[in-house]
Amino acid sequence: MSEIATVERLEVRGAKGQWWRSAVIYQIYPRSFADSNGDGIGDLGGVRAHLDHLAGLGVDAVWFNPWYASPQADAGYDVADYRAIDPVFGTLTEAEELIREAHALGIRVIVDVVPNHCSTAHPWFVEALHGGPGCTTRDLFWFRPGRGASGELPPNDWQSIFGGPAWTRTTGPEGTPGDWYLHLFAPEQPDLNWDNPKVREEFEDVLRFWFDRGTDGIRIDSAALLMKDCALADFDPADPPLPHPYEDRDEVHHIYRAWRTIADSYPEPRALIGEVWLPDAQRFAAYLREDEIHTAFNFAFLGCPWDAATLRAVIDETLAVHAPVDAPATWVLSNHDVPRHVTRYGRADTSFTLDYRQLGAPTDHALGRRRARAAVLLNLALPGTVYLYQGEELGLAEVEDIPDAMRQDPMFFRTAGENPGRDGCRVPIPWSGNTPPYGFSPPGATGQPWLPQPAGWRDLTVEAQSGNPDSMLELYRRALAYRRRQPALSDATFSWLPGPDAVLVFSRGPDGAFVCVVNVSDHPVALPVHGTIVATSDPMEHDRLPPDTAAWIAIR
Ligand code: NOJ
Ligand code: CA
């Protein structure tokens, strides 16, 4: 089956024939999705065995977190070979099979590209290290002499996003200390020098490599961090030229223009999806200009508290930011870097920022799940692309009691445990059975799941929830099926309608054929419109919509 023939069979819905403008994209964290060979780590065989779950759920595409050859110092975001699959996950042949099988089920495939940094095990870095000062391969990275009398201090005061200094000192063959290299994340993730044309050529080739294998798009990791100010000046918080000296430099846009040309050169253009984590709305929108990337994650929505006025403000701002550049908005409640939203919504303070994870805060999981049910109906009713993170369709909560000895996230280690990190949202997901590994690994597996699963997940497995109309899984299935059928939900129109206090009411479609009502108040309300109720997140109470509940209404 040729790659182009396969892609052409996929349905193109949404405005402008660009499927990503209204797609539902399911995020697969390969380590934690399903383990086919019993070593306790998810793999491509596990994904292939469960593609029916994704087809049954009704998603349009899947995004894979990195599956490349990697020492796994940051769960695969430390890439040693961008063209090879890590043996723990499988082989390139299996990846190609998986892409074909997903396409045959009408599911598109997005891979994660990590351009800001590679791994210390990448051949370039190995060569740069061995070549010593003066070796030209060092110019692919940021090697610098240290400060202080004998170079014992880092070249500047930048801090790693994972904690601690952003520089690590090299050691020569005889153990003599040498130059330092820059890493905005873990020391195992040296930053690449994007001023060097060889780095640019390499990544353009990596893009073609995956597009030629039929992948339908890429998710660009840390997309705003690539270009550094080569002066490498200390960070001056009183006078930041930009959010950080390593963030959002103008030159970065040249890179994405070149990538866009490559993405557009395919018979069906490939999608460019950016992880652009910038607080400034205008700077964010600049990445979504006509000849740059297509869409970017909506971190404002991801961290938005469960509060009507704030939700409304974030929705308004999101639509306002995307409109001038004619890019589709995106909506996301959870991902592999943030506490699961069932937990977030079950706390007194339902907001989230990267520095404010509130792990261990008292949590009412029943309330969190109720809000999560309402939130997904809100999410799926908004105009644009929706991202779902594996396990949210099961209503999984953050796992907060992982013993320190079993934690894996470098963030935990680099902050000496002060920040517990991201392991709690990465626990292998439950498929079936009453006890761990809940079908994650096959019977007779030799390895335990790489992070321990809670004892109480028996009722949250795919098996336990399937066929139970009250389950989170069946709510997701119903909602996704309806979203596909309702044309008003795949165009870009959106209007607020009047409603009671703390109740979000909006219509979709040019003639307002669809209305979503979300009751974020603390009391039941009458529905503010007449029509046919096609879905509710929880049952109505005597014709009233209870608190923390959403309803979908077909008007005609
Ligand atoms: C963002 C990714 O989402 C995160 O998981 C990773 O640790 C960093 N980029 C570094 O690659
Ligand atoms: Ca495995």
Q: SS in 3 state form for 474-512?
A: HHHHHHHHHHHHCHHHHCCCEEECCCCCCEEEEEECCCC
Q: Is pLDDT of 138 > 80? A: yes
Residue among 27, 30, 109, 26 nearest 428 (CA): 30
Q: Is pLDDT of 345 > 90? A: yes
Say if ligand 1 is within 6 A of residue 277 CB. Answer: no
Lowest mean pLDDT among 1-5, 138-142, 173-177, 381-385: 1-5
- The phi-psi region of residue 148 (left if phi > 0; otherwise alpha if psi is between -120 and 50; otherwise beta) is left
If you average pLDDT over residues 214-242, what whole number do you get?
Answer: 87
Helix (H, G, I), strand (E, B) or coil at 53: helix
CA 57 to chain centre: 19
The closest residue, in CA terms, to atom 10 on ligand 1 is 77
Q: Is pLDDT of 103 > 60? A: yes
Q: Is the bond preceding 410 in cis, omega lying within 30 degrees of 0?
A: no
If you average pLDDT over residues 447-463, what whole number do you get?
Answer: 97
The closest residue, in CA terms, to atom 4 on ligand 1 is 337
Count of CB atoms situated within 10 Å of the CB of 349? 11
- Measure the CA–CA gap between 554 and 530, rounded to whole angstroms: 9
**Local confidence band at 241 (pLDDT 50, 70, 90 cut-offs):** low
Residue among 27, 39, 33 nearest 87 (CA): 39
Q: Is pLDDT of 6 > 50? A: no
- Please name the residue ranges forming H helices in 138-189: none
Atom of ligand 1 nearest to the CA of 77: 11
Q: Is pLDDT of 8 > 80? A: no
Say if ligand 1 is within 6 A of residue 63 CB. Answer: no
Positions marked active-site: 221, 275
Locus of tokens 């200009």 = 289
The closest residue, in CA terms, to atom 11 on ligand 1 is 77
In whole numbers, what is the pLDDT of the chain averaged over residues? Answer: 94
- Measure the CA–CA gap between 162 and 408, rounded to whole angstroms: 13
Q: Is pLDDT of 9 > 60? A: no
Residue 261 exposure: Cα atoms within 13 Å on the Cβ side: 7
Locus of tokens 């002499």 = 145
- Measure the CA–CA gap between 526 and 519, rounded to whole angstroms: 10
What's the pLDDT score for residue 295?
Answer: 97
What's the pLDDT score for residue 242?
Answer: 62
The closest residue, in CA terms, to atom 5 on ligand 1 is 337
Return the axis-axis angle of helices 252-264 and 197-212, rounded to nearest 10°. 30
CB 467 within 8 A of CB 482: no
pLDDT in tens, 108-133: 999 999 999 999 999 999 999 999 99
**Local confidence band at 423 (pLDDT 50, 70, 90 cut-offs):** very high
Say if ligand 1 is within 6 A of residue 425 CB. Answer: no
- Measure the CA–CA gap between 318 and 296, rounded to whole angstroms: 11
Atom of ligand 1 nearest to the CA of 116: 11
Q: Is pLDDT of 2 > 80? A: no
% the chain with pLDDT above 70: 96
- Measure the CA–CA gap between 526 and 504, rounded to whole angstroms: 13
- Measure the CA–CA gap between 119 and 79, rounded to whole angstroms: 5
CA 463 to chain centre: 26
If you average pLDDT over residues 139-160, what whole number do you get?
Answer: 96
* DSSP notation for 112-152: EE--SB--TTSHHHHHHHHH-TT-GGGGGBTEE--BSTTS-
Sequence letter at residue 18 = Q
Say if ligand 1 is within 6 A of residue 337 CB. Answer: yes
User: Which value, to the nearest 10 degrees, does the dihedral of the CA atoms of residues 131, 133, 137, 139 take?
Assistant: 170
Q: Is pLDDT of 443 > 60? A: yes
Q: Is pLDDT of 353 > 50? A: yes
**Local confidence band at 225 (pLDDT 50, 70, 90 cut-offs):** very high
What's the pLDDT score for residue 240?
Answer: 62
CB 441 within 8 A of CB 38: yes
**Local confidence band at 44 (pLDDT 50, 70, 90 cut-offs):** very high
What's the pLDDT score for residue 239?
Answer: 67
- Please name the residue ranges forming H helices in 152-306: 197-212, 252-264, 281-286, 299-302
Atom of ligand 1 nearest to the CA of 411: 7
The closest residue, in CA terms, to atom 3 on ligand 1 is 337
Pocket test of ligand 1: the residue of 337, 354, 423, 425 to mutate, having most ligand atoms within 8 Å of its CB, is 337
Q: Is pLDDT of 413 > 80? A: yes
Pocket test of ligand 1: the residue of 79, 222, 357 to mutate, having most ligand atoms within 8 Å of its CB, is 222
Q: Alpha-carbon torsion 52, 57, 62, 67, what sign?
A: negative
**Local confidence band at 235 (pLDDT 50, 70, 90 cut-offs):** confident
- Measure the CA–CA gap between 553 and 536, rounded to whole angstroms: 9
Residue 459 CA to ligand 2 center (angstroms) comes to 24
More confident residue, 482 or 278: 482
Pocket test of ligand 1: the residue of 221, 297, 412 to mutate, having most ligand atoms within 8 Å of its CB, is 221
Residue 397 CA to ligand 1 center (angstroms) comes to 21
